[in-house]
Amino acid sequence: MKKQEINTLKEQFILSKHITHLNHGSFGACPKPIFDNYQFWQLKLEQEPVNFYVNEGMQHLEKSRNVLASYVNCKPQNIVFTTNPSYAINIIAKSFDLKEGDEILSCNLEYGALIKTWDYYCKKAKAKFVTTEITLPIISKEKIIDQFFENVSAKTRAIFISQITSSSALILPVKEICERAKELDLITIIDGAHVPGHIHLDLSELKADIYTGACHKWMLTPKGCSFLYINDEFKNHFDPLIISWGYDLNSNFSDHHELQGTRDYSAFLTIPTAVQFLKDNDWESVSRTCKELVLTNYEKTSSILNSKPICPINADYLGQICSSSVKTSEPEKLKTILYKEFNIEVPIMQLGNEFYLRFSAQGYNNQDDIDLLHQALETIKKQTNLLQS
């Protein structure tokens, strides 16, 4: 994609022009046309609140759900909107029929907040949340799969794993892991927070029992728009976190989980506009260009940080985000200097006892942005002792 085209895309985002934004992965960024649609729904709600909540709102929500279901290829009756994947996994963990001694199998690369979620509910049931060790650097898919299942036991009830990890920014072979889990008669629960709009997602093909994804990251919707998918076998096994008007033994899955009293669900209604925006702007090509930026720059970023890539540098493991190990005793200070002195928004993330600098490439980024990051890191190396060799 030409630099001029990237600049044109950049103008469609609301992000501050004074910041080099290399952290799309954390909270996403919403283009103006989608944000305008968000405000349209908010205004419509405030202009006619009774009519919106009592009559029209549910019809609009159903339309949005149908569009999302088509986008991720599942039946609309198997998907509900949630504000974020953490909310979705809390639905699952809270109602999972755990017995004393049961185990949920996961790994050390998982998102910290959801480790806390599972750990809390497992302890409450006197069950165990088992985190198996996947070692870095990654060598092969087969090694990941073998390591993940090392701690499976007769007590294991389900697996929980990310399709794209958070701190380490790795694409994991979740389809193959789900296939192995089903052979062992285990329930498969997948955190796909970073997946929709980022890498190919076909829920009918993946065949996970339970899946959650964020739309406000790579699908570009406003914040607070995510989904929970549960297949036919299990969708009636999980209670909503909030029991309200939608809960009745004769009501359907979406009513159970979405009719929760007065709340602003305008973000959910932007899905049709977001999907159309992606189509109109040939986002598959945009995403492909961004992935090339990551693959082209990953090794240099790691080299500047005196580290080595944590995976083979190819599309099997890397999408539009990548993480490089950074040796520093003051990660927060390093992040602050990058932001305040160089106007670069990029996270320094912790995984175990290690820290990782993770940069994202989205349609508003180009090589100049990555060069600015590299120059800033080189300057910090020369002028401070924050980056250790």
Displacement of CA 67 from its chain's centroid (Å): 19
Whether 245 is covered by a domain: the verdict is: yes
85: preceding bond cis by omega (within 30 degrees): no
What pLDDT score was predicted for residue 250?
Answer: 67
Instruction: Work out the average pLDDT over 313-341.
Output: 97
- In this structure, the answer to whether residues 142 and 179 fall within a common structural domain is yes
- In this structure, the answer to whether residues 90 and 225 fall within a common structural domain is yes
CA distances from 269 to 43, 69, 111, 312 (A): 13, 13, 27, 39
Query: How would residue 245 be classed by pLDDT, with cut points 50, 70 and 90?
Result: confident
E runs forming strands in the chain: 20-21, 79-82, 103-107, 128-132, 156-162, 187-192, 210-214, 226-230, 321-325, 344-345, 348-351, 354-360
pLDDT, one tens digit per residue, over 17-63 is 999 999 999 999 999 999 999 999 999 999 999 999 998 999 999 99
Q: Which of 32-36, 234-238, 309-313, 336-340 has the lowest mean pLDDT?
A: 234-238
- In this structure, the answer to whether residues 264 and 175 fall within a common structural domain is yes
Instruction: Work out the average pLDDT over 323-336.
Output: 96
Q: Are 201 and 207 in contact, with CB atoms under 8 Å apart?
A: no
The domain that holds 211 is classified in CATH as 3.40.640.10
- In this structure, the answer to whether residues 158 and 269 fall within a common structural domain is yes
Report pTM. Answer: 0.96
Residues with Cβ within 8 Å of 165's Cβ and at least 6 positions away in sequence, in order, are 109, 110, 111, 172
Instruction: Work out the average pLDDT over 106-132.
Output: 98
Domain end call among 240, 259, 275: 275
- In this structure, the answer to whether residues 245 and 331 fall within a common structural domain is no
The H-or-E segment that residue 339 falls in is helix 331-340
- In this structure, the answer to whether residues 230 and 352 fall within a common structural domain is no
Q: Are 191 and 212 in contact, with CB atoms under 8 Å apart?
A: yes
Instruction: Work out the average pLDDT over 274-301.
Output: 98
- In this structure, the answer to whether residues 242 and 211 fall within a common structural domain is yes
Q: Are 125 and 98 in contact, with CB atoms under 8 Å apart?
A: yes
Whether 379 is covered by a domain: the verdict is: yes
Instruction: Work out the average pLDDT over 160-167.
Output: 98
Residue type, 157: R
Owning domain of residue 251: 36-275
Residues with Cβ within 8 Å of 177's Cβ and at least 6 positions away in sequence, in order, are 144, 145, 148, 159, 161, 188
Spatial distance between the Cα atoms of 337 and 305, rounded to a whole number of angstroms = 15
What pLDDT score was predicted for residue 4?
Answer: 43
Domain end call among 275, 303, 338: 275
**Cα dihedral: 370, 376, 378, 379 (round 10):** 160
Is the confidence at residue 372, as pLDDT, over 90?
Answer: yes
Listed ranges 5-9, 233-237, 246-250; the one with the highest mean pLDDT: 233-237
How many domains is the chain built from? 2
The domain that holds 336 is classified in CATH as 3.90.1150.10
Q: Are 182 and 168 in contact, with CB atoms under 8 Å apart?
A: no
Whether 388 is covered by a domain: the verdict is: no
Six-digit token string for 245: 């008007």
- In this structure, the answer to whether residues 287 and 269 fall within a common structural domain is no
